Amino acid sequence: MKSVTIQVFGRVQGVGFRYLTKMVADKLNIKGTVANLNDGSVFIEAEGEEDHMNEFINAVKLSPSPSGRVEKTTITDRPLQNFTDFRVTN
C-alpha cells in the first residue's frame, strides 16, 4: 500500500476537478479525500495499491477535468490513514 498527499496547482477549481478526481479514485479503488484550498489549489489525500496509486497520480497530473489545467503538483509520502472510501470535501 502507498499513501500520499498531493497538492495540485493551476486551473483546478470551478472546473469539476474534485468530482472527476473522485471518479478516477473510485475506478482505481483509491481511498482518501479531495478538497479545494483557499489559495486556489486542490489538496488530495490518497492511498491504495502502488500500481493503482501510480496510475491515479498520473491521471491527476494530466487533470481529470477536460476544462482544468495542472501547472504543478507536490507529492509527499505519508503514513497510511486507513480511509474507507474517497470523499469530496468542502
Determine phi and psi for 85, rounding to 5 degrees: -160, -175
Residue 36 annotated to the active site = yes
pLDDT of residue 90: 83
As a whole number, mean pLDDT of residues 65-78 equals 95
Domains for the chain: give ranges and CATH numbers.
Answer: 2-81 (3.30.70.100)
pLDDT of residue 21: 97
CA distance 1 to 30: 10
Among the options 36, 38, 82, 90, which is catalytic? 36
Q: Summarize pLDDT for 22-68 with one digit per residue, the tens.
A: 999 999 999 999 999 999 999 999 999 999 999 999 999 999 899 99
- Res. 5: pLDDT tops 90: yes
Cβ neighbours of residue 81 closer than 8 Å, sequence gap 6 or more: 3, 32, 45, 47
Among the options 11, 18, 54, 58, which is catalytic? 18
Residue 54 annotated to the active site = no
Report residue 8 as a C-alpha cell.
Answer: 495540485
pLDDT of residue 26: 98
